[in-house]
Amino acid sequence: MFRNGVKIGLTGLILAISSPSVFAHSELISTYPAAMSVISEKPADIILAFSEAPILAGSFIQIEQPSGKVLGKSKPNLSGTSLVTPWLNSIQPGEVLVRWRAVADDGHVSIGSFNFIYKQTPASISPTPIAANTNSSRDVAIWAAGISLIILLIGIGATTRRRK
């Protein structure tokens, strides 16, 4: 009887320890230029910031104009937890669509897109990154750890009740 309780407790402990890494995926936090922003000056780079550093293998950033013309598709550089690609000189004023794919170190693939408007005028509008929800992976990990702890406590409680 005691061994069953120990097995349940150890299983719960293993789940509690391993759960955060199972649910940890790289999520987009912000972009520069920011999604839906209007910029008047060419930035040096287009930057996609993630909650965790993606791996470069399989990740890409593609730049398009509204006509559907693909201006460039590149394997980005990694800077901290951000994918970075240089601003393309072929980008014309108007709407710019950025399509991206990021691969987390656990193999999870995230795909998305955002757009911004490039106006080649001396307007004083400056882009501000927009933060996305970054708590979802952390919340899932906390819930999983809590459930695992409850299972562990139930296993210990079942063991001590049977011994009395």
CATH of domain 24-134: 2.60.40.1220
* Cα–Cα distance, 146 to 47 (Å, whole number): 35
Check residue 45 and give left, alpha or beta (phi > 0: left; psi -120 to 50: alpha): beta
What's 118-148 look like in SS3? ECCCCCCCCCCCCCCCCCHHHHHHHHHHHHH
125/89 Cα distance (integer angstroms)? 21
Helix, strand, coil shares, percent, the chain, to 5: 30, 35, 35
* Rounded Cα gap, residues 126 and 118, in angstroms: 11
**pLDDT tens over the chain, length 164 residues:** 556 655 665 555 455 455 444 455 789 999 999 999 999 999 999 999 999 999 999 999 999 998 889 999 989 999 999 999 999 999 999 999 999 999 998 899 999 999 999 998 654 444 555 544 444 455 555 655 566 666 656 666 666 666 55
Domain residue extents for the chain:
1-15+141-164, 24-134
Give pLDDT, residue 68.
85
Q: What is the pLDDT of residue 151?
A: 66
d(CA 131, CA 128): 9
pTM score of the predicted model: 0.61
